[in-house]
Amino acid sequence: MDLEKKRKKLCKGRGKGEGKVEVESSFSICDLPDAILQLIISSLPTKEAIRTSILSKRWEHLWRDISNIELEEGEVEERRQFMHFVTRLLVTCNCSSVKKFSLSCIVGEDANLVNEWLSGFINPKIEELSLQFEEIPEPLVFPDQLFTCATLTEFKLDMQHVLKLPSSVHFRCLRTLTLSNIIFSDTYSTQRLFSGCPALEDLSLIDYNLKNVEVVCIYSPLLRRIYIRENEDDMLDEDDDDDTGGLNVTNSCKVLIVGTNLKSFTYHGDCMNEYFLVHSTLVIDASIQVQVPRTGTTPGK
């Protein structure tokens, strides 16, 4: 049986029919067990997956156990529709089945709603999580269970805001962590985060902000790849937005990286912070690109 072909056929049918889909009577896709059909449905874009509910009585409920949800806000004019769609999805799908969740949207005045989505979709068995938020007026509330999730293997978080961490952080299986635009709130919680990832292999820190942090040690015995990009100009621009939580612009952080298995180290930036590589004799692939800071544009210096 060629599943891929069937999936294509199914998608094609749906695309053309827009609500009037005919599944050929001899077509054996319906002979497949629910579990397989759910896998197929989960591989479709979320909106398409939900549309499979119109195929037949049996399909009406199949999509609810969808394991992969990807939600990306589109045009500004369609925001209301998007908000409505996600809120409906939250109450209709079986959130306990979601293993892979991706959400990208503007928060704006809907922080409460976004917090509701986060606590609904992020279940304790989640495996991959990708969150991207813009225009965040107040700290978002991530469910505490996220930070002690034992199944999470991949976590991407992109938000230009202070990351508030609970007192306990332990990602037992987290292998890939990508943090973009995050403002770390203080030395202790930042250390808690990096100490709570014992299985980390791949770490990317992009335009992050360590102004409130004095020193942090990034250590994981399995750490193989580190990518760091920081740009002082970006950070200073953020300060103007007044949502950075009263940063100390003149502060630079000492970042200790202890990676006995580190194979690749990439740094692009202007040395806002100081980096120390410790016990990293095995680095095979290092790329360090330092930009000369522009003079005359740095206030407070």
Ligand X SMILES: *[C@@H]1O[C@H](CO)[C@@H](O)[C@H](O)[C@H]1NC(C)=O
Q: Residues interacting with ligand X, by CB under 6 A? A: 65, 94, 96-97, 248, 250-251
Residue among 94 and 168 whose Cβ is closer to ligand X: 94
Q: Residue 248 Cβ, how far from ligand X at the closest point, in Å?
A: 4
Decide whether 94 or 291 has the Cβ nearer to ligand X: 94
* Location of structure tokens 């962590």: 177
Least CB distance from residue 301 to ligand X, whole Å? 12
Shortest Cβ 211–ligand X spacing (Å): 9
Torsion of CA 119, 124, 128, 133, to 10 degrees: 20
Closer residue to ligand X, CB minimum distance, 65 or 110: 65
Tokens of 179: 């943090």
Minimum separation from the CB atom of position 240 to ligand X (A): 17
Which residue has 């799908």 as its token pair?
93
Which C-beta is closer to ligand X: that of 94 or that of 289?
A: 94
- Between 19 and 246, whose beta carbon lies closer to ligand X? 246
Residue 122 structure tokens: 């992020």
Residue number with CB closer to ligand X (219 or 275): 275
* Residue 93 Cβ vs ligand X, minimum distance, rounded to whole Å: 9
Nearer to ligand X, 96 or 289 (CB): 96
Nearer to ligand X, 39 or 113 (CB): 39
Shortest Cβ 50–ligand X spacing (Å): 16
Checking DSSP bridges between strand 264-269 and strand 225-229, what pairing results, if any? parallel
To the nearest whole angstrom, how small is the minimum distance from the Cβ of residue 137 to ligand X? Answer: 24
DSSP string, the chain: --HHHHHHHHHHHHHHHTT-----TT-GGGGS-HHHHHHHHHTS-HHHHHHGGGS-HHHHHHGGG-SEEEEE---GGGHHHHHHHHHHHHHHS-GGG--EEEEEEE-TT-HHHHHHHHHHH--TT--EEEEEEE--SS-----GGGGG-SS--EEEEEESSEE---S----TT--EEEEES-EE--HHHHHHHHHT-TT--EEEEES-B-TT-SEEEEE-TT--EEEEE--HHHHHHHHHHT-S-S--TT---EEEEE-TT--EEEEEE--SSEEEEES-TT--EEEEEEPPPPTT--TT-
| Alpha-carbon distance values, 112 to 109, 132, 161, 182 (Å) | 8, 16, 16, 20
Q: How far is the CB of 126 from ligand X (least distance, A)?
A: 12
